[in-house]
């Protein structure tokens, strides 16, 4: 919002004027009203088993068209490369023979599933939905922090934030022409239908949720409602004769496309966790014979592995013959001796991340760590070099945030969402801006006290004072089955992403 000389950037001029006109007292009243509305609507997230309202800051983030254009191209480019990569991982694997990536990087990933090797996804798409986490460095360059192509969460907050802000700051909307986000459910449904099994003219689509105790249940229910499809749990489905059927009041009805929000390990107790209460026995066999599409495809988690992330620029060059539009954050691979030796000498300067971490868990920010913590980290790295990467401490960009009655700078990241129907990768204009609310904090995860901002991608026709365009847009012990189910729901459905922090975190 502000340039280095403290002047308001041109794109924020109208917003700056409105904020001054409204004044801090009125802003405070509106912020309180906004928070209460989220509590009333149940826009919450799970933190340590307790449902809390998801904080939405009153000051939106604005992205000008020329800044957004490369982000849009770069996200789509990355999704196309990851789609080709996953096809090779579970197919002929030529990239390994061509030396693009060592085969052991994939084989050693806990999210590589041999059971789906050779399984061609129905509809030909593996990455239907992607969430690519970005940070903006000191030079203003957006860099990719990580990829999420398993079951990326957070898009529900993009849509609810937009509706809430249209009510909270209507006069600010009147000053801007904002690209809408309400198209997302329609775009997602079209992509799911486009990848239905061959010969099905009017496919039945469902959203499969772990259940009401999952931290992202609000999102599952919202997407099902906005797409106009059934929200189901594993108990609502059954496999018969290689087909997936849904229990209804009229009897069993066929299901052709499943937008699943259940982790791989819980999806089919025949092939994965035998104790799963969330999945559907036989669903992998139904996929194998081509009778059902599961989105995103099983085994995609190997692309979310942070060690695989370090190779994505090479994958883009290899598969697309293009240079990456969005650079990675510089990263050291701890499994490579030269990288490991350098990093171990600089542990107090760098950020160390577990390659399989999520929600900001396990991240160690060297400059903030004690000597004992660094010694413990050194031992962990030496014991399992494959399990760690290192990155420099990127000073994430900050954005004015309404804190205690005043605007204060807080670190932010951005998660754009992409939808792939097999012909086109469509990127939602905006995405979820996460904001680290504690002063100086670099980890933006909601589980670490983070909140969100409505993200406005401005139209090229944006003009101050233009007509408003409101957007409407495995168990142990003696747990009983109910307890087991609650436990699995809380852990078995893709958490709200891996977060950040950029390096840091």
Length of the chain (residues)? 505
Task: For residue 50, name the pLDDT band (cuts at 50, 70, 90).
Answer: low
Whether the CB-CB separation of 122 and 287 falls below 8 Å is answered with yes
Q: For residue range 227-275, list pLDDT tens digits in order.
A: 999 999 999 999 999 999 999 999 999 999 999 999 999 999 999 999 9
Whether the CB-CB separation of 317 and 99 falls below 8 Å is answered with no
In the chain, % of residues over pLDDT 90: 66
Least reliable range by pLDDT among 22-31, 120-129, 269-278, 288-297: 22-31
pLDDT exceeds 70 at position 51: no
- Phi then psi dihedrals of residue 458, to 5 deg: -80, 145
Which residues lie across from 258 on neighbouring strands? Answer: 206, 294
User: Could you count the other beta carbons within 10 Å of the beta carbon of residue 59?
Assistant: 23
37: left (phi over 0), alpha (psi -120 to 50) or beta: alpha
Pairing of strands 425-427, 417-420: antiparallel
Higher pLDDT, 487 or 118: 118
Asked whether the CA dihedral 62, 65, 67, 68 is positive or negative, the reply is: positive
d(CA 432, CA 505) in angstroms, rounded, equals 17
Q: For residue range 463-502, list pLDDT tens digits in order.
A: 444 444 433 443 444 445 566 666 666 666 544 333 333 3
- Phi then psi dihedrals of residue 45, to 5 deg: -140, 160
d(CA 45, CA 218) in angstroms, rounded, equals 8
**Sequence-distant (≥ 6) Cβ neighbours of residue 325 within 8 angstroms:** 70, 73, 74, 77
Listed residue (349, 211, 347) closest to 278, CA to CA: 211
Q: For residue range 409-455, list pLDDT tens digits in order.
A: 899 999 999 999 999 999 999 999 999 888 877 777 766 668 899 99
Q: With H, G, I as helix, E, B as strand and everything else as coil, classify residue 72.
A: helix
Predicted pLDDT of residue 356: 84
Higher pLDDT, 80 or 502: 80
Predicted pLDDT of residue 183: 95
Burial class (CB in 10 A: 0-12, 13-18, 19+), 436: buried
d(CA 460, CA 14) in angstroms, rounded, equals 15
Least reliable range by pLDDT among 109-118, 126-135, 442-451, 482-491: 482-491
Task: For residue 320, name the pLDDT band (cuts at 50, 70, 90).
Answer: very high
Helix (H) or strand (E) holding 130: strand 129-136
Listed residue (2, 60, 11, 62) closest to 31, CA to CA: 60
**Sequence-distant (≥ 6) Cβ neighbours of residue 98 within 8 angstroms:** 318
Whether the CB-CB separation of 322 and 296 falls below 8 Å is answered with no
Average pLDDT over residues 380-387: 96
Task: For residue 366, name the pLDDT band (cuts at 50, 70, 90).
Answer: very high
Can you give the C-alpha Rg of the chain in angstroms? 23
Task: Record the pTM.
Answer: 0.88
Which residues lie across from 388 on neighbouring strands? Answer: 354
Predicted pLDDT of residue 484: 60
pLDDT exceeds 60 at position 189: yes
Highest mean pLDDT among 64-73, 135-144, 441-450, 463-472: 64-73
Predicted pLDDT of residue 478: 46
Least reliable range by pLDDT among 207-221, 236-250, 316-330, 448-462: 448-462
User: Could you count the other beta carbons within 10 Å of the beta carbon of residue 28?
Assistant: 15
Predicted pLDDT of residue 256: 98
Higher pLDDT, 33 or 483: 33
d(CA 262, CA 279) in angstroms, rounded, equals 7
Predicted pLDDT of residue 243: 97
Predicted pLDDT of residue 482: 61
């Amino acid at each position: 919002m502000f340039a280095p000389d403290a002047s308001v950037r041109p794109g924020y001029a109208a917003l700056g004027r409105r904020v001054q006109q409204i004044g801090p007292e009125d802003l405070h009243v509106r912020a309180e009203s906004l928070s209460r509305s989220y509590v009333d609507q149940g826009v919450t997230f799970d933190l340590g088993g307790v449902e809390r309202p998801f904080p939405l800051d009153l000051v939106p983030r604005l992205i000008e068209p020329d800044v957004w254009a490369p982000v849009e191209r770069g996200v789509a480019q990355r999704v196309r490369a990851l789609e080709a990569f996953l096809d090779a991982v579970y197919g002929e694997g030529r990239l390994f023979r061509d030396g693009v990536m060592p085969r052991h990087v994939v084989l050693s990933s806990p999210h590589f599933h041999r059971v789906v090797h050779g399984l061609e996804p129905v509809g030909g798409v593996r990455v239907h939905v992607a969430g690519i986490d970005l940070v903006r460095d000191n030079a203003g360059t957006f860099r990719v922090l990580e990829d999420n192509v398993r079951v990326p969460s957070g898009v529900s907050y993009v849509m609810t934030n937009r509706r809430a802000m249209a009510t909270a700051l209507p006069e600010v909307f009147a000053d801007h022409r904002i690209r809408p986000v309400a198209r997302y459910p329609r775009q997602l449904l079209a992509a799911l239908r486009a990848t239905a099994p061959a010969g099905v003219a009017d496919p039945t689509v469902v959203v499969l949720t772990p259940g009401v105790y999952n931290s992202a249940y609000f999102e599952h229910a919202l997407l099902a409602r906005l797409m106009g499809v059934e929200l189901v749990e594993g108990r609502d489905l059954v496999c018969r004769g290689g087909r997936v059927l849904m229990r209804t009041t009229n009897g069993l009805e066929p299901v052709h496309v499943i937008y699943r929000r259940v982790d791989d390990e819980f999806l089919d107790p025949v092939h994965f966790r035998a104790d799963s209460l969330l999945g559907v026995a036989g669903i992998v066999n139904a996929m194998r014979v081509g009778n059902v599409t599961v989105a995103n495809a099983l085994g995609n988690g190997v692309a979310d592995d942070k060690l695989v992330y370090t190779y994505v620029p090479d994958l883009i060059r290899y598969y697309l013959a293009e240079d990456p539009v969005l650079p990675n954050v510089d990263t050291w691979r701890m499994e490579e001796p030269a990288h490991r030796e350098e990093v171990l000498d600089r542990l107090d300067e760098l950020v160390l991340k577990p390659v399989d971490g999520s929600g900001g868990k396990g991240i160690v920010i060297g400059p903030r760590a004690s000597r004992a913590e660094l010694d413990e980290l050194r031992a962990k790295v030496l014991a399992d070099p494959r399990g760690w990467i290192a990155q420099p401490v990127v000073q994430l960009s900050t954005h004015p945030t309404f804190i205690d009655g005043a605007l204060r700078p807080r670190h932010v990241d951005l998660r754009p969402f992409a939808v792939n129907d097999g012909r086109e990768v469509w990127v939602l204009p905006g995405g979820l801006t996460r904001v680290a609310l504690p002063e100086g904090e670099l980890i933006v995860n909601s589980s670490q006290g983070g909140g969100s901002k409505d993200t406005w991608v401005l139209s090229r026709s944006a003009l101050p004072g233009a007509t408003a365009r409101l957007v409407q847009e495995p168990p142990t012990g003696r747990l009983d089955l109910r307890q087991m189910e609650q436990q699995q729901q809380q852990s078995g459905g893709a958490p709200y992403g891996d977060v950040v922090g950029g390096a840091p975190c």
